[in-house]
Chain A
Amino acid sequence: MMTVRLKVNGVAHEGRCEPRKLLVDFIREDLGLTGTHVGCEHGICGACTIMVNGESARSCIMLAVQADGAELMTVEGLMQDGKLHPLQEAFREHHGLQCGFCTPGMLMTALDFLRTNPSPSDGEIREGISAVLCRCTGYQGIVNAVRAAAATLRGGR
């Protein structure tokens, strides 16, 4: 068993786990943050995407021990001061989700994408979120949401 110390959404956590434990399992089972979902466990579907030290990463192909000392952000950390993040608002406004299972990964991916490309074209948005598979929406609502959120975020919110 190994000790893992990390910060998630600004809160410090310490846990003990086997070296083989996946980061996503550690987040869900040991920290009780079930907003991050497991869709494929082989790094393709993107549902488990979180931010690790400010960059998006797939928590199903990282070990918990690899995140020792890291700062993580999960979907639970997106809302600030009781207010939805502009991305969350835009997903609701533009029907960017149906079943909601890929949504946490989609949000974290879009967050990272807009950080690096604040004024994307639709084609760039599509490429940016192509790292996450969604089977409900046909993606159009998500593209519309990310475009709208980009405008809001550029507006200085």
Chain B
Amino acid sequence: MSETRWIGKAVKRVEDARLLTGRGTYIDDHPPLANIWHAAIVRSPHAHARILGYDTAAALMMEGVGGVITGADVARHTKPFSVGVTAPVHYYCAATDRVRFVGEPVAVVVARNRYLAEDAAEVVQVRYDPLPVVLDPERALESDAPVLHEAVGSNLAGHRRLVYGDPDRAFREADVVLDERFSFPKYGSTPIETYGVIAKWDPLDGLCTVWSNFMGPFIMHPLTARVLGLPENKLRFIVPPDIGGSFGIKSSIYPYIALIALAAMRTGVPVKWIEDRREHLLASSSGTDRVAYREVAAKKDGTILGMRFRWLDNVGGYIRSPEPGCSFRPTGNFVGPYRFQHLEVDASVVMTNKSLTGPNRGYACGHLYFETEGIMDRLADRLGLDPVEIRRRNLVQPDQFPYRTPTGGLYDSGDYPAALDRALELARYDELRREQAKARAAGRYFGIGLALAVDPSVSNMGYVATALDPQFRAKPEYLPKSGAVDSATIKIDPLGRVIAILSTTPQGQGHQTVVSQIVADELGLVPQEVTVVDEMDTFTRVWSISSGTYSSRFGSVGTSAVALAARKLKAKLVEYAAHLMDLPAESLEFRDGAVRPRGGKGPAYSVKDLAGRAHWNTESLPEGMEPALQATAVFGFTVAKAVDAQDRVNSSNTYGFIAEVMAVEVDPDTAAIKILRYVTVHDAGTIINPMIAEGQIYGGALHGLGGALYEELQYDDDGQLLTGTFMDYLVPTASEAPTIDIAHIVSPSPLTPLGSKGLGESSSMTAPAVIANAVSDALAPLGIKINDLPMTPTKLWTIIERARSRERSSDATSRAANIERAETGDRSRVASGAAHESGDRSRLAPISGHPRNKPA
């Protein structure tokens, strides 16, 4: 038994002293080399065009310029990145023959400093032949739409129809069937530190070293090595000690790693590139914009029998790994916290002339739960049930764990009804409903929203293969994929102090602090006696394909590796002490920082004592014991298995739970949404540091709210980005951020040594749903349902104004007709139409007007 004096405590962070005093080391502060040259990237001004040629002569003549590489060099010296679909999409680290989105890299200038590099980039001439542009994923699938990739023949990068159970029967037998159309915006959580890469090429050794604020290595290291034509042990990735936020976005830096590495290889000098904000908004990464058609089949009592999802996920100009995770990342938790067994998912991954997508906090779960929780409310409304009641009747029950979902997920632990009850109690739900009745009677727009979600942590990399047909996966040459692995090494020095070495790449999550707590508890130390090193280096750290800090991994798999390494070391100390004491190891235990006789009195050996003896006098070791006091543990989940022939996959390894309640009031004259109460209850198993956990929840919630209310990468009809600065791409400030009531319930995971699960993505996946439901509830008297995000003030005001003027001008009969339209799911189209008429930029790309294709 290990004591938990530190686990569960709000230990102050080790990282803070350096970060508060300006002594952090981020990529742009990192001085790994002398004689660094600087890169500026030439980018496409067109959303779609053929490249006719380059003229770099003027740039090469300029003072301080060391070289220019273009798409021609990229085509000659690199390979395209592989991706998990069979469509022949050739995605290189820069455009080679055609550009497919504004901002796509077309050339790189290397110069003595960034100012000179930018001067020279301006005079690089690229000749283009513009092509027609398509931005809307529904339009992109029409037969006369411009096609981005001729080799693919259409804009469909991938399509799967996944069937679990017997959804047709569920829909036949249902008392009620509802359908709704939802749309989710393209937004990225825009870390304040942009991408940065430094690359060095040693031609004689054939060795490429790259420093970057990457959150991998995971699968991107082997992908990048292949692109550069290097063996994996000749491509070294090093991550500086500090990364200025990521939220999934920095997993997509790897094409730039390849591009800057190529620039270093071709020019023969070490090259540094720091992305600027405009480049980041134009061409880094975001989540997908999605159009979703949802159907639900239910009994009169609210029991859900089945659902159908039909998705169009817009991945932009090229599908880039790990997409199509946008569709398949949540496969195991497609059904969320609900018990229904019949599901059909029709997922189309579509390419258009927008920037590329990838993981963004909550990867695809913000989309999933926005739709599911929205349709749950519509169903409750139709059946005359309270939104709480409809959810309660469908929740997975505590005695069902471990719970196997129809899609292959294995929910490891939880008590969903208890978490829901806790949220309702904290929110004083009944009181809120009474308050709402009063407010409505007074003509005010007061609403209450709910959202429940299963919070998946630690992706099983096998999920991506769900994108491939089972027939393809059945071929003998196909190699199945699975796994979720992390490692840690713990060393005890001769004075009994500890160094813990991780293979993670934290971006603000406080890994050093959390690991010092775990090791302190395991070895009976205080956290200050533990030094934690987390600067990833693929040459010196123990790692595997799935290693990295993404998918809320650390709280689950990373901490498990640390605990196991400490326990290995403890076992060795016990064995050593047994030898010194000439007692059987079974008669001893490790307790309070020393090896002691089990349960009783007698001499004890402290860690310090044992460490000194073991290091200074190897003769004292028992025969066959490896000298030195260090242990490495690699933790992998055995529940991470490859996708099966029925498309079932346990896409994550630990599954937490989130229950949220929000109360809002909407001012009908300004469309301002005031958040009156926001309660979130999480079950992430054992909480190691509640202060850090709370910080993650706060941050996640604000990312979700940003996407729901303000943030959108908007384009005009020509594919030009309209939100290329922080003046236009609106990020919530402290004035927009709500105070949140946070509570935890604890259902320890049986799969991890500490019982912990991940919670880094947390409320980012529920916030869009809970606020959309709250605003829909507030505006229910006007017949307005929010199916379309973000609900920017202009958009919302237009919808409200339209509903009110309709109310003012029409008689009772027409009012009833409007409400009927809302109930049949037509409201989102009415709403977008209204916003479009008002000239709101966010709706210039029409989402309506196409024939509505219902799932088959």
Interface residues of A (CB under 8 A from B): 18, 20-21, 28, 33-42, 44-45, 47, 74-76, 78-79, 84, 88, 91-93, 95, 97-104, 107, 125-127, 129-131, 133-143
Contact = CB atoms under 8 A, between A and B. Distances in A.
Contact of B695 (A28, A37, A98, A125): A98
Contacts of B247: 135
Contact of A92 (B16, B191, B277, B508): B16
A140 B20 contact: no
Given A127-B735, A129-B734, A143-B734, A101 B17 contact: no
A84 B191 CA distance: 27
Given A21-B115, A40-B725, A97 B19 contact: yes
B419 interface: no
Contacts of A76: 21-23
Contact of B737 (A40, A84, A95, A140): A140
22 contacts: A18-B115, A34-B26, A39-B194, A41-B276, A42-B726, A75-B20, A76-B22, A79-B21, A91-B16, A95-B13, A97-B20, A97-B508, A101-B26, A101-B191, A103-B19, A126-B734, A130-B733, A131-B733, A137-B695, A138-B698, A138-B737, A138-B740
Interface stretch (B220-228, B237-245, B283-291, B750-758): B237-245
Given A135-B245, A140-B737, A34 B28 contact: yes
B731 A135 contact: yes
A42 B277 contact: yes
Interface string B633-656: 000000000000000000000000
Most interface-central of A93, A98, A101 (chain B CB within 10 A): A98
B22 A136 contact: no
A41 B115 CA distance: 13
Given A35-B24, A47-B192, 10 more contacts: A92-B20, A95-B13, A95-B695, A100-B244, A129-B734, A135-B189, A135-B245, A139-B702, A140-B737, A142-B734
Contact of A133 (B12, B29, B733): B733
B765 to A, nearest CB: 15
A141 B733 CA distance: 13
B415 interface: no
Contacts of A95: 13, 691-692, 694-695
Given A42-B277, A95-B695, A99-B245, A35 B23 contact: yes
Nearest to A101: B244
Most interface-central of B22, B276, B700 (chain A CB within 10 A): B22
Q: Closest 4 A-B residue pairs measured CB to CB? A: A35-B22, A101-B244, A100-B19, A99-B508
Most interface-central of A18, A99, A131 (chain B CB within 10 A): A99
B737 A44 contact: no
B695 A130 contact: no
Contact of B20 (A40, A100, A131, A135): A100
Main secondary structure of the interface of B (DSSP, over half): loop
A75 B23 CA distance: 9
Contacts of B726: 40, 42, 44-45, 133
A36 B13 CA distance: 21
B336 to A, nearest CB: 24
B699 interface: yes
B727 A37 contact: no
A139 B507 contact: no
B739 interface: yes
A107 B26 contact: no
Contacts of A127: 734-735
A97 B15 CA distance: 10
B639 to A, nearest CB: 30
A142 to B, nearest CB: 7
B192 A133 contact: yes
A43 to B, nearest CB: 9
B711 to A, nearest CB: 11
Contacts of B17: 84, 92
A135 to B, nearest CB: 5
B846 interface: no
Contacts of A74: 22
Given A37-B193, A42-B727, A44-B725, A135 B699 contact: yes
B78 interface: no
Nearest to B361: A135
A34 B25 CA distance: 8
Contacts of A33: 22
A21 B116 CA distance: 11
Nearest to A33: B22
B699 A84 contact: no
A134 B192 contact: yes
Nearest to A104: B22
B170 interface: no
Contacts of B737: 126, 138-140
Nearest to B763: A138
A98 B694 CA distance: 11
Contacts of A84: 17, 20-21
A140 B740 contact: yes
Interface residues of B, number: 56
Contacts of A102: 192, 244
B16 A97 contact: yes
Interface string B692-707: 1011011111110000
A136 B695 contact: yes
A75 B245 CA distance: 19
Contacts of B15: 100
Contact of B739 (A39, A93, A100, A140): A140
B510 interface: yes
A3 to B, nearest CB: 18
A102 B726 CA distance: 15
A137 B16 CA distance: 14
A45 B698 contact: no
Contact of B22 (A36, A99, A129): A36
A36 to B, nearest CB: 7
B698 A140 contact: yes
Contact of A37 (B26, B692, B698, B740): B26
B16 A44 contact: no
A133 B725 CA distance: 13
Contacts of A139: 698, 702, 733-734, 737
B190 interface: yes
B509 interface: yes
B12 A136 contact: no
B16 A135 contact: no
A49 B737 CA distance: 21
A37 B244 contact: yes
A95 B694 CA distance: 9
Contact of A98 (B194, B276, B278, B699): B699
Most interface-central of B16, B192, B725, B731 (chain A CB within 10 A): B192
Contacts of A91: 16, 20
A136 B244 CA distance: 9
Given A129-B734, A135-B731, A140-B739, A99 B507 contact: yes
Contacts of B735: 126-127, 130
B12 A98 contact: no
A20 B118 CA distance: 13
A41 B277 contact: yes
Contacts of B510: 98
A136 B245 contact: yes
A137 B23 CA distance: 20
A135 B190 contact: yes
Given A40-B725, A100-B20, A141 B698 contact: yes
B358 to A, nearest CB: 17
Contacts of A47: 192
Contact of B242 (A39, A100, A133): A100
Contacts of A134: 192, 734
B22 A34 contact: yes
A98 B506 CA distance: 10
Contacts of A20: 115
B770 to A, nearest CB: 15
A39 B698 contact: no
Interface string B18-49: 11111110101100000000000000000000
